[in-house]
Amino acid sequence: MRFRNIKHNSAKNNKKTEKKAKYAKAPDRIKAFITDMFMIYVPILYIITYLVMDGKDDFLSSDIAPLLAVIIYGIIYTIFLNKLGQTPGKKAYEIKVVDARTGENLSLLRSFYRYVLFLITAFSLIGLIFPFYRKDNKALHDLICGSVVIVSKREDKS
């Protein structure tokens, strides 16, 4: 009986010391995504269109240029998630992408895997609806990858 009491008390203490992560809301995730598009993706498109190619007509007629832009954006996105856990858009809305189990930043490979899964789920649109129907606001690419988007800075509202 004594062992049970010790075990029970230690379980209570562990629950008290655990911090519950606050999940990022879907509208904040959408706003962060739009911010990233303007801050990262649009400059990439501009550089490819006007500095690498001869203008918009060449860009539109090329099959490789849009793919190159998506790949460059994916590399930048992956590095941001791996090093900081957040892109500039996510930082603006104080949200962060972390491993669901450990709470640490994603590895480089998992960050890239999450980006590829995002492209697939965005193409199908089904995976992007998930956050609106889940309590933890996870999209399909988060579920498959084992990541979660949390609020990085707690708001102290008294």
Among the listed residues 79, 88, 86, 85, the one whose alpha carbon sits nearest the alpha carbon of residue 42 = 88
Task: Give the number of C-alpha atoms closer than 13 A to the C-alpha of residue 32, restricted to the C-beta side.
Answer: 22
The pLDDT value recorded for residue 87 is 94
Q: How far apart are CA 72 and CA 59, in angstroms?
A: 15
The pLDDT value recorded for residue 15 is 45
Task: Give the number of C-alpha atoms closer than 13 A to the C-alpha of residue 98, restricted to the C-beta side.
Answer: 14
Q: Where are the domains of the chain?
A: 22-151
The pLDDT value recorded for residue 11 is 54
The pLDDT value recorded for residue 138 is 87
What sign does the CA torsion over 43, 96, 104, 136 have?
A: negative
The pLDDT value recorded for residue 39 is 95
Residues of the chain with pLDDT under 70: 1-19, 154-158
